[in-house]
Structures are given as C-alpha cells and as structure tokens.
Amino acid sequence: MKRILMIAYHFPPLAGSSGIQRTLRFVQHLPKFGWQPIVLTCDPRAYENTSDDLLADIPPDTVVRRAFALDTSRHLSIGGRYPGFMARPDRWMTWRFAGIREGMRLIREFEPAVIWSTYPIATAHVIAAELHRRSGLPWIADFRDPMAQDGYPADPRTWQSFKCIEEQAMQQATLALFTTPGATRLYRERYPHAAQRIELLENGYDEEAFADVERQITQRAPLNPGYLTLLHSGIVYPEERDPTALIAVLGDLQRTKQPAANRLKLRFRAPVHDDLLRRLAMEHGVAESIEIMPSIPYRAALEEMLRADGLLILQAANCNDQIPAKLYEYLRAGRPVIALTDPAGDTAQTLLGAGISTIAPLDDRQAIGKILLAFADQSLHGALPTIDAAAAASRRGRSEALARMLDNVVPQPLQNSPK
C-alpha cells in the first residue's frame, strides 16, 4: 500500500469547525483504495476549543504526529496585542518550524509517495512546500477555497503572504485541488500555466456517521414542539453570512401579525458571533424567536439536522465561488432547505441541481419574506418537502476520487516499509 503524508491543522481533537471532516474522512477511507495516510497536525494546545468526540473516528493504525504550535493571539500576545508578523500567514505560523522538522522525520521513517496539505490554515501549505523542496516528493495542495481574494485578507501584508503562498503552490505543486466549480474556474483563469494541474474535488457528507445516528433515533421528535424551527448549523460570519436581513424580516412578519410568523424559530448552533445575533434579535424585537446554542459533538449535530423542520444556508454574493461544507450534510439529512444566497453562485447552483429552489439573495428582505411565509404555510398543511439528492456526495466517494488522482501522480506501487 502506498503512503501519503497529510498535513492538516483541522484534525481531532479540534472542535467547532466543519473543516475537520474533509481530512478526517480521507484518513478513514483512503486505505480502501490503496493509500495509507500518515497525518502531520499540530499540538492540541494550538486549538482554542477541543473535544474528544471524533478521536474514535481516526483508524487505530493511523500514524498521527502532532508538532509543536502556538496560537499567536492566545499564547504570544501582551494585553491582547502582538506584532503583525507573528500572525502571517495566520495565527499558527509557529507550527511551521516544528512541522517541517517532524515532517522530515516522517518522510525518512515511512517513505511516503506523496505530500498533501490543506487550507484554510495557510501554514500547512508553507510546511508542505518546504518538505517538497527538501524531499523531492510530489505535492498536492488542497486549497478548498480561494486564498488571496479582492479585499480578503483585509490586511495588505497578510494578503501578500497569501498571494505568495498560492503562487508558489501553482508553480511547484503537482496538483491543486478546489471544492467548487467557481473556484476551480477562477484559478485556472488566474494561473493559465497551471490550468492542467488544477482539479475539482468537492466536499461531502459522512454516510457512516449519519447511519449511526439514524440507528440510534427511533423517532425524530421536532426540536421545538408546536413551533417551526429553521436550523443554521455552524459559524455565522458578520459579512459572508450576514443574518441582518433574515432577522429583520422575522421582525417585520411578527409586527404585521402574519399568522405563521409567531410559529417560526431560528436556531443558530455554534455561531461564534453570538453577540451579533443577540443584538439583532433585540433590535428587531424577536429575541424569543432566536435560539443561540453552544457547540455540540458531531453526531449530535447531525441528529439535530435530522430533527429540524428546515435547514438554513447563509452565503453572501462575495462567496459565489464557495460552497459551505455543511450543504452536503443538509442534503443527506433530507430536510427542507432555505438558502439565502446569490442565485448565480455555486451554492445556489448546487441546490438547484438537487431540485431545491427555495433560494433568495442574502440581503433581499422581500424575497426572504416570501420564502419564510411559504415555508410556514407548507408546514401548516403538512406539505414540507423532503429531499433525496445526496447519493453522489459521500465522503467515501470523494476519497475514491482523490485516490484516483493520487494513482495518476504515483502510478506504480512503491515497495516502501518503515525503516
């Protein structure tokens, strides 16, 4: 079996990010297709929040090395302040030094055939680039989403560091992977010399985890009996997932005494920006209709999706080349989906392809109001639709696709064994 060195910040016991699922599920499924992962991640001290709930999902024979790393904002700041260079390209830049040393040890010990690194923590690509330079091994740069974008990162020096990292990857990486058609197209246009090495590898859902949850719940009791609960599972970004128009519409509907409005509840699970949601709820007089809930274990979050009356996507037009990873879990959950996003973006196009048309721009209050009222009216008449559109998006299937790419990079089996 060929070996792959996988460099990822997002890995158990990190808690609070759906981004952890991509690497974890590759680690689970790649051995079925002839590739044994070796994981290089960072010491748990670098994580702001941790949970043990996904540690058991790591196959017991997987080699996992955790290199020393600090979070600049928590470990190296004085009075909440720190020099900017200590957070470029990101707050975990200290991971680079131990990561390179540990990575070379792993290469000497296990002789992997290829190196794979994954964003959105850019330091992972920095480590991989240096390991590629020192070892000569092929490098797969898993970008997921675009890095240097118009206006992001806002700090010009951080933006420049992102730009340098992506340029290096486009020069040196054997493959560069993106999770959406828009991002793939964007980078092929941005780097035409590397267009043949830029590939699409979408996110997905974990069928085994969903099956475990479904075996354990015999009745899908509603989250709030007597109410209609729309669930947003995950981070609510103030700009990219701005909930202002949605909460304002809920207030408008209640003030105009729309019959269904008082039955609606919005549940935000682990949104991070709790204060923003509380402020908006108070401003629009809907505090009793807004639920702000803490992070919960992964399988509990899946159960919550299965029990929700509806599932909510928030995605601004400046993210048209991105798709929230939870969208695939929403599809697998089979519950109605309301997407507040640009109809021209990749998120909307993916939903339309799945037969879901309850889509409105994130800032269009009139369109949002119509969708909410229609959703509430359908529930009153027992006509909420279910969805069956997830079969092609399993993490196992995505792992098989990655294995095919790796086989093209390293076509012949290697006789490698630990020294």
- Using alpha carbons only, give the angle 17, 23, 24 rounded to the nearest 5 degrees: 85
Strand order in the sheet with 35-42: 63-67, 35-42, 2-7, 114-118, 139-144, 175-178, 198-200
Better-predicted residue by pLDDT, 105 or 389? 105
Summarize pLDDT for 107-150 with one digit per residue, the tens: 999 999 999 999 999 999 999 999 999 999 999 999 999 999 98
Taking each helix axis from N to C terminus, what angle separates 274-283 and 244-255, rounded to the nearest 10 degrees?
30
Q: How far apart are CA 93 and CA 158, in angstroms?
A: 12
Binned at pLDDT 50, 70 and 90, residue 263 comes out as confident
Q: Which of 101-115, 254-268, 277-291, 375-389 has the lowest mean pLDDT?
A: 375-389
Q: How far apart are CA 357 and CA 382, in angstroms?
A: 19
Q: How far apart are CA 242 and CA 314, in angstroms?
A: 7
Query: DSSP strand E in 33-120: where?
Result: 35-42, 63-67, 114-118
- C-beta separation of 95 from 46 below 8 A: yes
Note the pLDDT of residue 84: 85
User: Percent of the chain having pLDDT more than 90?
Assistant: 81
Instruction: Tell whether the model's pLDDT for residue 188 goes beyond 60.
Output: yes
Domain boundaries, the chain: 2-204+394-409, 207-391
Q: Which two tokens stand for residue 354?
A: 């799945």
Q: Does this chain's domain 2-204+394-409 share its CATH topology with 207-391?
A: yes
Q: Name the class of domain 2-204+394-409.
A: alpha beta
Binned at pLDDT 50, 70 and 90, residue 19 comes out as confident
Note the pLDDT of residue 413: 57
Q: What is the pTM of this model?
A: 0.88
Note the pLDDT of residue 418: 45
Distance of CA 1 to the CA centre of its chain: 29
- C-beta separation of 67 from 44 below 8 A: no
Summarize pLDDT for 389-409 with one digit per residue, the tens: 566 688 999 999 999 999 999
Q: Name the class of domain 207-391.
A: alpha beta
Average pLDDT over the chain reads 92
Q: How far apart are CA 217 and CA 222, in angstroms?
A: 12
Strand order in the sheet with 290-293: 290-293, 264-269, 228-233, 310-315, 337-341, 359-360
Note the pLDDT of residue 380: 62
Q: How far apart are CA 409 and CA 244, in angstroms?
A: 46
- Strands 2-7, 264-269: pairing kind: unpaired
- C-beta separation of 199 from 177 below 8 A: yes
Give the ranges where 111-180 is alpha helix by DSSP (H): 123-135, 156-172
> What residues are paired with 313 via a beta bridge?
339
Q: How far apart are CA 152 and CA 146, in angstroms?
A: 10
Q: How far apart are CA 327 and CA 339, in angstroms?
A: 10
Query: How close are the terminal C-alpha atoms of the chain, in Å?
Result: 15
